[in-house]
Structure 1
Amino acid sequence: MNILRLSLAGLALLGSASSTHAASTAELTVTGLITPMACTPVFSAGGVVDFGKISQQDLNETKSTMLPLKTMTLTVSCNSAGRYALRMRDNRDGTAHVNSEIFYGFGLDGSGNKIGVYSLKFDPKQTVADNAAVIYGTESTTGGVAWRTSNSNPIDMGARSLLGFTEALGSTAGPSAIQNLTSTFVLEAVINAKQNLDLSQEVQMDGSATLEVVYL
C-alpha cells in the first residue's frame, strides 16, 4: 500500500562546543507514489456467511463450541500484473474472546459479553494465479520488510500481517506479480462458552471485516 511518508530534518546540536549557529528552521519532505495499478477483490456469495439459527442447547456449557466449517472463494482482478498482498481489518475489533491476530470478533451480546470468534484460512493448493502451474503462500509480519519462506501450507489471515502469493517455492522475496487470482478459503467460527453468554434473549452474531489489497 502506498502511503505518504514524512521525513524530518534540521535537528539542532545542543551543547556543542562549536561556534556554528544552528538554523532556526526545519525542512519537511512529503513523498509518495501513485501507481496505475488497480485491483478489485470480490468474495463469493457477496461476502456473506450465514450460520442461521443456533439453539442454545447445542452450545457447550464450559467451553467454546465450533460451528461447521464454511468454504468461500476470493477473486482479485487487476488491470495489470503487479505485486500486492492482502490484509484483513476487523470491524468488530476488541470483541474476540481469544487474543490472537488470526481471530476476528462476532460482537457483543446484550450484556456486553464477547460472543465468539472466526478465522480465515487460505490454501495455496486451492489458489490459481494467471498461468502459473503452482502457487505458494507467503506472509509478512513486518509490513513487507521481510517475508516468510514461501510454501504450500495453508495460511491464517492475520489482522497485523500481509498475505501474499508467489510462483517461487522456498523464496523470501515476497509476492510475485499477479494480475488475476482466485483462492478458496475456509472460515472457522467458534462460539464462546454458554456460561459466558447472556442467552435470556436472541444473540445476533455480527462479524464484519474488511479485506484490503496492499500494493507493494
Structure 2
Amino acid sequence: MVTLSAVSLQVLTGCASPDPDLPSRRVTADHNRTAPDAGEKNSIGKIVAVVNGEVVSWDEFKPLLIESGGSEALGELVLDRLLKEKCNENSIEISKTDTEREKDLLLSRLSDDLDEAIRLLESIRRNRHLGPVRFQHLLWRNAALRKLVARKVNVSRSDLEQEYQLRYGDLYQTRLIVTGTLQQAQQARQEINAGKPFGEVAAAFSQDVSAQRGGILDPVSLADR
C-alpha cells in the first residue's frame, strides 16, 4: 500500500474581525498630533503606530518582531523558494484550484460535518498564530508537495486491492494475554482450558494494556502487513 500525505496544516490568530480569515488589530492614529518636521518626513514611512502621540518606529519594532517569530517566518520563506525552484524544474504550476483543493482536503479530514470542520479549522488557525497570508502559503506548499510527489508514486493493482480489503474486507477480532513468566502463561492456559472466561484470565494475568479490556485487541485484516 502506498500512502501519499502532504505537509499538513499549521494553521490564525487575532482579534475578531468581519472576515474570519482576516485577523486584524486596529491602530488608531492621534489626529491631534502636530505635523512632522523635515526630519520626521524622511522617516514617516517607517512609523508603525502612534501611542498617545508617541511614535513607534519600524526600527524599534523590527527586532521585537524578528525575535518573536522571525525564524519561523524565514523558514517558511526558504521552503517556499526551494519548492518554487523544484516546481519550475519539473514544469509544475500551482493554481488557485489546487490550493482550494488542499483546503477542502483539510476540512474533510477534520470532520464529516462541514460546519464543524470549519469551526475546527478556525480554532486551529487561531491557536497556531497563522493569518490569511501564511495560511495561503501553507496551502500552496501542500499543493506543490503533492504534485511533486505524485510523479514518483506508482500505485499498482495489488496496492489498490490491498487498500480495498483494509477498508471494506473482513476484520477479525483477536484477544491476547502477555505474561512475565512461563509459569504464569501455563497457569493462565490451564484456567482457560478449565472453562474460565478468557477475559477474566486476561484481566488477572496479562501485562498488556489490553488486559483491562479482557485482552481484546483492535480488529485486524489479513491484508494488513
Q: TM-score, normalised by structure 2?
A: 0.19
Instruction: Give the number of the structure whose residues are more often strand, by fraction.
Output: 1
Higher relative contact order (CA 8 A, sep 6+): 1
Pair member with larger Rg: 2
Give the alignment's TM-score, normalised by structure 1. 0.20
Higher fraction of helix: 2
